[in-house]
Amino acid sequence: MDSAKSVLLLVSGPAGSGKTTLCDRLRGTYPDIQRVITATTRSPRTGEVDGQDYFFLTDKSFKDKIAQEAFYEHALVHGKHYGVLKEEIDSRLDAGVDLLLNIDVQGAESFRNATKHNPELARRMVSVFILPQSISQLSERLFDRDSDDKEEIERRLIVAEKEMREADQFDHRILSGTRDEDFAALQKIYFDKKGLAS
C-alpha cells in the first residue's frame, strides 16, 4: 500500500442522518478501508474483543493517557470515557491504511484543531457532514427507526439542530437524499481525496 495516499475520512452528522449505515456500506464495498478503533473505560459487552471492537482501558490508564496527550480527542459520555488514540491513527496511516471514523461534531472539531499543529494529519484528513434536508426529515427517520421513545427522539432533535449549525465547518456536506445518492456522494469524496477516478 502507498502510505503517501492513505486517507483519514471523518464522517459526522446528527442521529438519524444515516451516517452509520453509510460508513458500514463504504467499508463493505471497500474492505481495505479500516474502522478506527476507539478506547473506552466501559466494560466489554458480550462478544466484544479488546483491540478489535474497542481498546478497553481502566480509568487510571485512560487518565494517564490524557495527561500524556495521547488522544486526538476524548469525551466523557454517560460516566464513561471514550477517545481516539493518536497512535491508533498515525501508525496505520503511516502503514498505508485508509481509515474511517464515524464521529460526533465535538470530536470532529478536536481533529480539526489537531490539524493546525500536525500538517501530516491535515494532508490526509477529510471531513464530511451528512446534512438532513430538514428537521422534519430527520424526525421522520428517527420515528421510522422505532428504536427510541418519543422523549429520546425529541432530545435528539434538539441536539441535531445545534449540530446542523456546525455543518459549514466540515470540508464537505452531503445533503441527504436517498441512501444510494448519499453513498455515491461519499464514495466520490473518498475517491477525490485518494486521487482516483470515480
pLDDT at 105 over 70: yes
Angle at 103 between CA 97 and CA 108, to 5 degrees: 95
Whether 98 has a pLDDT exceeding 70, the answer reads yes
User: Using one digit for the tens of pLDDT, what is the confidence trace for 44-54?
Assistant: 999 999 999 99
Residue type, 18: G
Question: From CA 32, how far away is CA 23, in angstroms rounded?
Answer: 13
Report the CATH number that the domain containing residue 143 is assigned in CATH. Answer: 3.40.50.300
Q: Which residues of 76-110 are buried (b: 16+ CB within 10 A; e: fewer)?
A: eeeeebbbbbbebbbebbeeebbbbbbbbbebbbb
Q: How many helices (H) and strands (E) does the chain have?
A: 8, 9
The arithmetic mean of pLDDT across residues 66-85, rounded, is 94
Query: CA 103 → CA 6, 60, 107, 127, 129, distances in Å?
Result: 19, 24, 6, 10, 10
Q: What is the mean pLDDT of residues 10-15?
A: 93
C-alpha cell at 126: 477529510
The pLDDT score that the predictor gives to residue 16 is 85
Distance CA(59)–CA(56), nearest Å, equals 10
Q: Given this model, what pLDDT does residue 1 score?
A: 45
- Rounded to an integer, the average pLDDT of 21-29 is 96
> pLDDT of 145-172, one tens digit each?
777 788 888 888 998 999 999 999 999 9
State how far the alpha carbon of 129 is from the alpha carbons of 9, 14, 108, 120, in Å. Answer: 11, 9, 10, 22
**What is the structure's pLDDT at 107?**
92
**Domain ranges, residue 161:** 3-194
The reported pTM is 0.87
| pLDDT value for 2 | 52
Mean pLDDT for the stretch of residues 84-95: 96
Return the C-alpha cell found at 25.
456500506
**132-143: b (≥16 Cβ within 10 Å) or e:** beeeeebbebbe
**pLDDT at position 3 over 60:** no
- % of the chain with per-residue pLDDT over 70: 97
Confidence at residue 91, expressed as pLDDT on a 0 to 100 scale: 95
Contact of 121 with 73, CB cutoff 8 Å: no
Number of domains in the chain: 1
